[in-house]
Every structure is written in C-alpha cells, then in structure tokens.
Amino acid sequence: MSLKIRRRKLLTSTAALGAGFLTGTAAAYAAGRLKPLARPNWVRKVYSNGRGWHVGNMVQWKGTWYICFVDGTGHVSEDSRIRVISSTDLKTWTSQAVTGTTHIDPQLLPVGDKLFMYAVRLDLQTKTDFGSRSWEVMASTTDGKNWSEPKQCFVMNNDFWHPTEFRGRFYVTCDNAGHVPDGRSCRVDLLTSEDGEQWTWVSEILHGSDKPGSGSKPSEHQPYFDELNSVYFGTRRPSETALCFFNDGRLLAITRAVGFMACISTAVPPYTNWKNPRRLSHTSRCYGAAIQRVGKHVVVTGRYQADQNPDGSLGINGAATGVFLYEDGDIKLHALLPSGVDTGYAGIQPLSENEALVAWYSSHEHAPNPGSSIYLASVPLD
C-alpha cells in the first residue's frame, strides 16, 4: 500500500502527547464544564449510491451550490474519479463526472466568470519506494455543465489542499506526503496565483522531522515550539493544510501533523515567515481539515476519532466528522455530524451569520459492507 493511500487511512493510535489532553476533554464534557454539543438543524443525503467519498469542498457560484467529491468503489480506488453535484435549492441535485479514473482530492475555486476544479491524478501503475507519483490537474467551466479537459497545473508530486481567495489573489497549500520519504523531505508549502492557473511559491509552512517527537529543548529534529503545551516538537509527515484569512490580513493554517494533534500556525503579510511558536490543539488531530468564516465565527471541520473520546460518551464508531470553532488560539469541538467508520473530509459554506452548511462523506450506513454516501447539514453556531 502506497504512502499516498496510507495517509488517507484512519490512524487508530493517539500520540502520548495528545492522549492526556483528550482524556481531559472527555472528562470536562462529562462533568458539565463544556457546553453540550450542537445538533444539526437538518441533515440530507445528497449522493447515496455508495460511491461517494472524500468531499473536497463546497462553493456557491453564479447562484448555484456546488460540491465536489471522489466517486469510486473505495476511499482511494483505481476507479476513483471526480464528481461535481450542483443545486439551486439545496434539495434537488444534479451530478456529472469531471475527470477519468485514478483522480482524488478534488477542490473547487470560483475565479471570476469561471469555476475551476483541481484534482490529484495518481499513477497507480508505477510504484516508487515512497508511494505513487502524482500530478495536480485543473479543469474549468463557464456554465457549470461543460468542463474542459483536465490539464497539469503544477509540478509533479505536490498535491493541493483547499484553495481560497483573499483581496483579489488566490492561495493554496501543497504537500508532498506519500511521494517522498517521511521526515525532513516531507513539507507543506504556501502557493499564490493571480489567475488560479499559474501558481508560484511563497513559503514553507511546516516540514517533517527525521526523528519526530517532543522535548523541552529545541533541536534540528524538534524545531517547532508549541506554546499551548510548552514543548518543542517535530512531526514525521505534515500534510493536508487548510487556510483562513482574517480581516487584518493574518493567515491561519491548520495542518495534519502525524503523531500529534492538529498543528495551528499563523503568518502576517507577505506570508513568507510562519511564526514560531505554533500550537498543537488540545481537542483533535483534525485530519482533512477545512476552514470557513461564517459571520463572526471561524468554522473548522475534520476527522474526530474514537480514541479522542476515551470514555465513549460521544458514541463514535471508529471516527466521526467533527465541526469545531476556532477560539482563543485553538479549535473547540462544537458538533458531531451523523457519521462513522470512514469519514471526515468536508466542505463548509455560510448559510447565514450563525448557520453553516457542511457537506461530508461517511460510510456508517454501509458498514460493514463497502460504500459511502455524501451528506449535507445545516449547523447552528450560536
């Protein structure tokens, strides 16, 4: 199994650093020190033939809602292709396949009169010592129905995650996890573009460590200081990094940091220097993060795994899709969506100042048989 595929699988062990924090969080819920989790206003199944996996994101463009996801027999299967569904009323959806097979990790980005769709095309036939080769490709549409043929849009083995726009420019993170050895060669970078087609490098957000771990002193292998827990740390494989801009120009990044809780980083313009200290969340590893501002709230989604609720009080079946609020420099669990087993990657859009739309995939209604569906919910934020 390639690293590219392995990084998409559920990790069932919790790093020692995070285990105590998670136990404390569960105890706080049980003791009533944390407010009860919010419940969705409504939940709808929007793609239900068992082939819906890994929601990339959700956007609104030209008065229509769009959700992109992987259509295949499994989370990363050789018949995986990118499908986009659309709706004007959030109830009736039409769908179309946008790519051929062996495509994963879809992302949508409105750019003026065009809607761009990015995806990772995998070469599953040619294996390397580190996994499979990949190419980031892009297709576009002007009417939401007719898509161009996907074409390569960045260098090989650098996979995009959640593009966004800020003040007329476009930004995206890319990572090379699954294409290089775990360790120092593994990194997450920030890219920018004026047109969504030509991307240039801005900075490195995080890199991996050949000897991951944590300690009281900085070192080559533990270069990042976590100010929440007062330790230096290094992760072996950073990837999947979501971005969010604030009105004052600050940029927030939440990274999947294997072996640790979610890594929270910030930068100020021109985003060439990511501040140390960082923060390792007290709440979740938040794999497959997405971030969206909704009114005064910063809404985050990601995978919330059963071992993050060690007393079982939340009833999680393997994993769940969590909705978090970014507050006081950390993400705080706000809601758990109906989900389980293989789940977690989602898209977020505002529905009102205090209501978020969340689209996600989950296999809980299919298990133990193969299959997964795409769901949509309205989540209250106050």
CA distances 316 to 191, 313, 340, 375, Å, are 36, 8, 7, 17
| Contact indicator for 145, 85 with CB cutoff of 8 Å | no
Question: DSSP letters of 257-320?
Answer: ETTSSPEEEEE-TT---B-SSBEE-SS---EEEEEEEETTEEEEEEEEEGGGSTT-TT--SSEE
Q: What is d(CA 323, CA 342) in angstroms, rounded to the nearest whole number?
A: 16
Q: How far is CA 43 from the centre of its chain?
A: 21
Q: Copy the structure tokens of residue 96.
A: 């179309």
CA distances 150 to 90, 101, 106, 139, Å, are 27, 12, 12, 4
Closest CA to 105 of 24, 37, 4: 4
Q: What is d(CA 217, CA 269) in angstroms, rounded to the nearest whole number?
A: 29
**3-380 has which CATH code?**
2.120.10.10
| Contact indicator for 193, 199 with CB cutoff of 8 Å | yes
| Contact indicator for 271, 246 with CB cutoff of 8 Å | no
Q: In a structure prediction context, what are the per-residue pLDDT tens digits for the chain, which is 382 residues long?
A: 443 444 444 333 323 333 333 334 444 444 444 679 999 999 999 999 999 999 999 999 999 999 999 999 998 899 999 999 999 999 999 999 999 999 999 999 999 999 999 999 999 888 788 888 999 999 999 999 999 999 999 999 999 999 999 999 999 999 999 999 999 999 999 999 999 999 999 999 999 999 999 999 999 999 999 999 999 999 999 999 999 999 999 999 999 999 999 999 999 999 999 988 899 999 999 999 999 999 999 999 999 999 999 899 999 999 999 999 999 999 999 999 999 999 999 999 999 999 999 999 999 999 999 999 999 999 999 9
CA distances 51 to 65, 93, 293, 338, Å, are 20, 16, 30, 18
Closest CA to 177 of 197, 161, 193: 161
Q: Copy the structure tokens of residue 87.
A: 């709706």
3-class SS at 16? helix
Q: What pTM was computed for the model?
A: 0.92
* Distant-in-sequence, close-in-space partners of 36: CB < 8 Å, separation ≥ 6: none
Helix count and strand count (H, E) for the chain = 2, 27
Question: Domain coordinates of the chain in residue numbers?
Answer: 3-380
3-class SS at 22? helix
Can you say whether the dihedral through the CA atoms of 104, 290, 131, 19 is positive or negative? negative
CA distances 225 to 51, 97, 265, 273, 381, Å, are 42, 44, 11, 15, 31
| Contact indicator for 280, 264 with CB cutoff of 8 Å | yes
